[in-house]
Amino acid sequence: MSSKSALIVAAFVVTLLMVGGSHAQQPNPLDAVPEKMPFDVAYGAPISLERADEVLAAAVAEAKKRDWKMNCAVFDSGANLVSFKRMDGAQLGSIAIAEHKARAAVKFRRETKAHENGIELTKLNSLITLDDVIASRGGIPLVEGGKIIGAIGCSGGAGSQDEVVAKAGAALINK
């Protein structure tokens, strides 16, 4: 091998080591160990049908006020459907989405907006590998006395519209 070829190979090896070394030295943010468990909210007794219907009435009233056609669901603390409202003219595809948002909010003990932010803003793409995740805002846990009694999920508009309607319903419980 000529000295010129040896120099090119050496430069290539040094470059690979530098590039590989810089990646190896960068810490993985997922390796951080939090002091406390995130979203550690206990599950409580399931929301009653009467209260679920009150939450839905508040959500539907907000949607009507804005002339938005929505599907809204309330699930209990065991991730079971308690009550559902489909407004006249609401798109059919959003029925299952509203239910999915409520179920995911209960199961993961957080607003579905947290999953949306995790994927969209922080590129935490591993979230999409988890069963029952939905990365779309509009699912909000219902917390009473420090315990999750259920969740509301709304769908039919833009994610920001779904969230406004879900928050209007959740406000009856989350004080």
Q: Which domains does the chain have, with CATH numbers?
A: 42-170 (3.30.450.150)
Per-residue pLDDT of 108-146, as tens digits, reads: 999 999 999 888 888 888 888 888 899 999 999 999 999
CA dihedral 18, 21, 23, 27 (to 10 degrees): -140
Q: For residue 2, what pLDDT band results from cuts at 50, 70 and 90?
A: low
pLDDT of 15 over the 60 cut: no
- CA pair distance 117, 4, nearest whole angstrom: 52
Q: Which pLDDT belongs to residue 71? A: 98
Measured at the alpha carbon of residue 127, what is the angle toward residues 90 and 71, in degrees to the nearest 5? 10
Q: Global pTM?
A: 0.82
Per-residue pLDDT of 51-102, as tens digits, reads: 999 999 999 999 999 999 999 999 999 999 999 999 999 999 999 999 999 9
Report the run of H or E that residue 73 belongs to, with start and end.
strand 71-76
Q: Which pLDDT belongs to residue 148? A: 98
Q: For residue 22, what pLDDT band results from cuts at 50, 70 and 90?
A: low
Q: Which two tokens stand for residue 150?
A: 């259920």
